[in-house]
Amino acid sequence: MPVAELSGVTKRYGEVQALRGIDLTIERGELLALLGPNGAGKTTAVRILLGLSAPTSGEATVFGHHPASHEAKIRRGALLQVAKVPETLKVREHIELFSSYYPNPLPIAETIAAAGLAGLENRLFGALSGGQRQRVLFALAICGNPDLLFLDEPTVGLDVESRRTLWAHIRGFVKRGGSVLLTTHYLEEADALAHRVAVIDRGRIAAEGTPAEIKARTKTSGLEDAFLAIMHGEGNVICESGLAAKEVIQ
Partner 1 sequence: MTNVYWMESKMELRKMARLKQYSVSTVCFPLMFYIFFGLAMPSSFGSLTLGKYLLATYGAFGVMGATLYAFGAGVAAERGLGWLEVKRASPMPPAAYLVAKAVVSVTFGALVVTLLFALGAIFGGVRMPAGQWALLWIVLVAGAIPFGAIGLTIGNLAGPNSAPGIVNLTFLPMGFLGGLWMPIGFLPKALQHFAQCLPSYHFGQIALAILGVPPQGSVLTHVEALLGFGLVFAGIAWVAQSRDHDKLYG
Instruction: By CB under 8 A, name the one of 8, 64, 86, 157 that touches partner 1.
Output: 86
The answer to whether residues 142 and 115 touch, using CB atoms and an 8 Å cutoff, is: yes
| Sites for partner 1 among residues 186-225 (CB under 8 A) | none
Instruction: By CB under 8 A, name the one of 64, 97, 127, 246 that touches partner 1.
Output: 97
Instruction: By CB under 8 A, name the one of 23, 27, 30, 96 that touches partner 1.
Output: 96
Site string for partner 1, 47-76 (x = CB under 8 A): x--xxxxx---------------x--xx--
Q: Which is nearer to partner 1, 85 or 192 (CB)?
A: 85
Q: Which is nearer to partner 1, 67 or 235 (CB)?
A: 67
Instruction: By CB under 8 A, name the one of 8, 28, 101, 168 that touches partner 1.
Output: 101
83 near partner 1 (CB under 8 A): yes
Angle between helices 130-142 and 160-175 (to 10 degrees): 10
89 near partner 1 (CB under 8 A): yes
44 near partner 1 (CB under 8 A): yes
16 near partner 1 (CB under 8 A): yes
Which residues make up the interface to partner 1 (CB under 8 A)? 13, 16, 18, 39, 43-44, 47, 50-54, 70, 73-74, 77-78, 80-86, 88-89, 93, 96-98, 100-102, 124, 137, 140, 144, 150
